[in-house]
Structure 1
Amino acid sequence: MKRWTFLIVVVGLLGLIALAVYAWVASPVAGNFLPPDGATDVPVHSTIQISFSQPMQHATVERHLSTNPPRTGKFTWHDNTLTFTPDLPWPGGGQVLVQLKGGSRAQGGLGFPMWRSQSWSFTTAQALLVYLWPSDEPADLYALDPLSGEIRQLTEGANVLDYSISRDGLSIYFSAGNSQAGADLFRLDLLRTALLGDVLVQPELKLACGQDACRSPQAAPNGKWLAYEHVEPGGENSAQVWLLDLATDEARQLGEVGYLTDNPSWSANNLLAYYDQAGGYVFLDLDSGQRFIGPNSTGEPGVWAPDGSAFIAPEIIYVQTEGGTITLGSSHLIRYTPFGPIADLTQAENLEDTAPAYSPDSATIAFARKYLDQPRWSFGRQLWLMNADGSQPRQVTQDDLYNHFDFAWSWDGRWLAYNRFDNASYVGPPELWLCDSDGSHPVQLNFGGYSPQWIP
């Protein structure tokens, strides 16, 4: 009897050991973390991805995942891969710690849990200034760290014509000249660029345009659409705004045939603005089909407030001299509130205002101003700042021979980048400059760099 009892105990222990081994082997495993452990210069809008060896009970994983700094956000699943999209960006230039505690369970059967906790970390990038260089030859994209002065080349031999940075800071969309005298559209993955360090990432061809020129690409914040200008050979004055569906790669014309349409741009809430020669700026809600027309005769590029509340573009305002014998026109900055009022922010005569750029908090506008009356006339436009309602305009630069333009605020509001050009020489390259957000401590970055934008 004792012998049978001993055998039963032994068999039971072996069974428990076998079950424990099976549970250990059959338990799910997490891996393929993105960004990977130890990654540096990761964009602040990066998502977190985790792949599992088997289907998981979603709620148990989401409950056991945490970050430091803490973030709320959205969880999405594709097969066995979880993507966490934070509601707020990660702090720039800081470390992010990610922890997946033990206890997440697999689907089906016994639903074995993950036995051990896992943690990893990555470091986010400082705000980087992107620009094109050189101005007198086929250009490439470069990124500058304003704190360290380190410069990184992002493309090589690409012949970049123009570009834009997606709102999440994960992609650069650019137009590049091709061998058929046209221009194609490309996407550069900034997360892969950060992860591969000094290795150049091959841009992804989004649209081959042959002899046609596809240019001025602008990605919608929701990631559904890429708006761009399409120009047929010899048709510089017949540009049309098109939309590329980023899910299907299908393109369609948006502007009406026979009218020039150009300068597409998106608001934070996915409202598309573009210029229509037939009437002015069109503000279009692609989901509802609603549109609002903001009268404008110049077609000069405009800019959205980062919060999506307003759009500003230059417009010619005509005034008559004393006695009404001569009508003069000058460029004012007009604020369009889609489906709302229109306001003149210049609010004065004898001024030429252009090149507006909103600060990240939508509270301040940088712009270029030139006096037109004889006592105050200057050869070049100067950098000015004003409040978002047009009040308290204040001059920043005093270099009368230089035109100042292409203003770009860093996303943390710390810096303002801009170009300037010597109007007296007409032969020198543009100069790329950087100053504090209030215009103080200006420093020249290079000669020949242009079109500055910031990676958040």
Structure 2
Amino acid sequence: MNTSRRTLFLVAAAVLVLLVGTLLVVMLPKVDGFGPQTIQGGLPRTSPLWITFTRQMRPESIQELLTISPEIAGEFTWEDKTLTFTPEEEWPAGTQVQVILQAGASSSLGLPTRQEVSWSFEVAPILMAYLWPSEGSSQLFSLDVDTGETIQLTQTSRVLAYAFAPDGRSFYYFAENNQGGSDLFASDRFEAVENAEYTPTRLLTCQRAICSSPVISPDGRTLAYLRNDAEVWLLALDEPAEAQQVSRKGHPSWQPLWSPTGRLAYYDSQELAYKVFNPASGEQISLPNQSGETAAWAPGGTALIAPDAFTSETDILRGPTGEEANQEVNESELEPVRVLSSQLMVYQVDGDTISTLTEEPLAEDFSPAFSPDGSTLAFTRRYLDDERWTPGRQVWLMAFPGAGSSASQLRPLTDSPSFMYMGIVWHPDGTKLAATRFDVTLLTEPPEIWLFERSGKALRLVIGGFSPGWIP
């Protein structure tokens, strides 16, 4: 009897231990999910990471055992059983983020996790955006210039122009509509790639008008654009509002361009001047200019660089023209040939002063573009004298005054006489730039997008592509 009771007791004890052990195993906390996971093209550089547990956890035990590489400052928050880490600054572009949670994190009951959890995700690199093809229904693409990977970002009617928001996630584009005009759409580049059912949002319909040339303000709240290539309009992006015309009615205007400080410049062809408009105060000033060509803001936003037209005198002498062309004349009666040239000018917006930047009388200087740090100015040049003239314009680099260098420090970056370069855009790291070029002696050939390092090393990126830009 005693033996039977002892056996029964032992069995009951074993069952109890088994039940307690089973209960403890069931009660042990586990990781139920984590993220983010890498998607094609990489994740936004502001992406938070998260870990979900099966039990309520002790926050301090998690943070002690969690390793994030590269290290970056951020904030930890809890919602129920999910821990979220939100970075205070952006993850480095193109980085692989490694996350490791060691075993031993404690639940609110003091029970530990028993397994280590680790994963990694790719942060989107800095990509180049462009339109392709130049003939037909052009669409917006992104290109990783290091790997060659391309991603189509739009699938719509012909895209006329685009602009990316400062966060690099949202982008806006004008596409042709069925009324002969164009409409404005907003899209999320990550959703557009990851979600096959994603539909961009139509923000504006221009009906029969051709709207194009979108540019986003530095704070991402306002979009400026052209209507019928002759009117400059503003559209608020952060709240529902009607678009407002900024340029004066009856004054053909173009070239909208935001400064780093949030002022908008555009060219008024009626007044032959760049207008600088301050949306915050409503103040507007005029900068006299004859050309109306593409301008560029200096990084500080206090100066505007723009080409202006001048008449220059050459060493070539010319006699009478027309019916008197064959008459003999004395050498003293010959007149020097005059040509229309273009020089880059510096407009100090706040100081109301104008100075000449490129003092080459027999050249056309156009398309200024600053490196991100403001130390270097790229522009295109074509000489006008017989000895140096070429059909196309080449890209030149110039150390910008005010950055510790004199204006005399300039050099050509390209040497392709028959090609016209335009649309210069600097990579955000300032080590290289992209530009569109086309052969002016073979106009049937498609345009090309090329990448140039400061050393002059060049790489052709896209045949038939145009309008390059960098996705921040």
**CA-to-aligned-CA distance 1:337-358 (integer Å, 9 cap, x gap):** 3213333211221011111221
Shift, 1:39, TM fit: 4.5
- Mark the CA change 1:70 to 1:380 in structure 2 (over 3 Å): closer, same or farther: same
Residue 158 of structure 2: aligned partner: 159
- Mark the CA change 1:156 to 1:39 in structure 2 (over 3 Å): closer, same or farther: closer
2:254 pairs with 1:262: yes
2:431 pairs with 1:439: no
| Amino acid across the alignment from 1:217 | P
C-alpha separation between the residues in 2 aligned to 1:43 and 1:307?
30
Secondary structure of the residue aligned to 2:434 is strand
Q: TM-score, normalised by structure 2?
A: 0.74
- Mark the CA change 1:194 to 1:307 in structure 2 (over 3 Å): closer, same or farther: farther
2:430 pairs with 1:424: no
Secondary structure of the residue aligned to 2:441 is coil
Instruction: Indicate which of 295, 300, 307 corresponds to 2:293.
Output: 300
Residue 235 of structure 2: aligned partner: 243
User: Does the aligned pair in 2 maintain the 1:30–1:50 contact within 8 Å?
Assistant: no
Shift, 1:291, TM fit: 3.1
Residue 337 of structure 1: aligned partner: 348
Shift, 1:67, TM fit: 6.4
Secondary structure of the residue aligned to 2:422 is strand
C-alpha separation between the residues in 2 aligned to 1:100 and 1:294?
60
Secondary structure of the residue aligned to 2:187 is strand
Secondary structure of the residue aligned to 1:300 is coil
**CA-to-aligned-CA distance 1:190-226 (integer Å, 9 cap, x gap):** 2324555xx5853321111111222111111212211
C-alpha separation between the residues in 2 aligned to 1:75 and 1:310?
42
Residue 185 of structure 2: aligned partner: 186
Unaligned runs of 5+ in 2: 1-26, 53-59, 103-111, 316-333, 402-406
2:241 pairs with 1:229: no
Identity %: 37
- Mark the CA change 1:429 to 1:374 in structure 2 (over 3 Å): closer, same or farther: same
| Amino acid across the alignment from 1:46 | T
2:268 pairs with 1:276: yes
Shift, 1:307, TM fit: 4.5
Query: How many residues are matched?
Result: 421
Residue 3 of structure 2: aligned partner: none
Residue 168 of structure 1: aligned partner: 167
C-alpha separation between the residues in 1 aligned to 2:137 and 2:306?
29
**CA-to-aligned-CA distance 1:131-167 (integer Å, 9 cap, x gap):** 1111111201111111111222111243011112223
C-alpha separation between the residues in 2 aligned to 1:84 and 1:385?
40
Shift, 1:243, TM fit: 3.1
Shift, 1:368, TM fit: 0.8
Quick one: higher RCO (CA 8 Å, sep 6+), 1 or 2? 1
Shift, 1:367, TM fit: 1.2
Instruction: Indicate which of 187, 203, 208 corresponds to 2:200.
Output: 203
Secondary structure of the residue aligned to 2:191 is helix
| Amino acid across the alignment from 2:311 | Y
2:367 pairs with 1:358: no
Shift, 1:228, TM fit: 1.0
Secondary structure of the residue aligned to 1:408 is strand
User: Does the aligned pair in 2 maintain the 1:168–1:221 contact within 8 Å?
Assistant: no
Instruction: Indicate which of 409, 434, 437 corresponds to 1:392.
Output: 409
User: Does the aligned pair in 1 maintain the 2:172–2:184 contact within 8 Å?
Assistant: yes
C-alpha separation between the residues in 2 aligned to 1:121 and 1:240?
46
Residue 10 of structure 1: aligned partner: none
Residue 216 of structure 2: aligned partner: 219
C-alpha separation between the residues in 2 aligned to 1:224 and 1:83?
27
- Mark the CA change 1:119 to 1:302 in structure 2 (over 3 Å): closer, same or farther: farther
Shift, 1:384, TM fit: 1.0
2:96 pairs with 1:95: yes
Residue 4 of structure 1: aligned partner: none
2:304 pairs with 1:311: yes
Shift, 1:180, TM fit: 0.4
C-alpha separation between the residues in 2 aligned to 1:250 and 1:241?
10
User: Does the aligned pair in 1 maintain the 2:74–2:85 contact within 8 Å?
Assistant: no
Residue 467 of structure 2: aligned partner: 451
- Mark the CA change 1:194 to 1:415 in structure 2 (over 3 Å): closer, same or farther: farther
Q: How does 1:13-32 map to 2 (within 5 A)?
A: none
Residue 41 of structure 1: aligned partner: 41
The structure number with the bigger radius of gyration is: 2
C-alpha separation between the residues in 2 aligned to 1:362 and 1:263?
21
2:279 pairs with 1:286: yes
| Amino acid across the alignment from 1:445 | L
Shift, 1:329, TM fit: 2.3
Runs of 4 or more off by more than 6 Å in structure 1? 29-33, 49-52, 63-67, 73-76, 80-83, 98-101, 115-120, 322-325
C-alpha separation between the residues in 1 aligned to 2:220 and 2:441?
44
Note the aligned Cα RMSD (angstroms).
4.4
C-alpha separation between the residues in 1 aligned to 2:224 and 2:49?
28
| Amino acid across the alignment from 1:282 | K
Shift, 1:303, TM fit: 2.2
User: Does the aligned pair in 1 maintain the 2:313–2:338 contact within 8 Å?
Assistant: yes
- Mark the CA change 1:438 to 1:97 in structure 2 (over 3 Å): closer, same or farther: same
User: Does the aligned pair in 2 maintain the 1:40–1:123 contact within 8 Å?
Assistant: no
Shift, 1:386, TM fit: 0.8
Q: How does 1:67-82 map to 2 (within 5 A)?
A: 68-71=69-72
User: Does the aligned pair in 1 maintain the 2:72–2:87 contact within 8 Å?
Assistant: no
- Mark the CA change 1:285 to 1:86 in structure 2 (over 3 Å): closer, same or farther: farther
**CA-to-aligned-CA distance 1:257-294 (integer Å, 9 cap, x gap):** 11122221212222222222224222222123333322
Q: TM-score, normalised by structure 1?
A: 0.76
| Amino acid across the alignment from 2:383 | Y
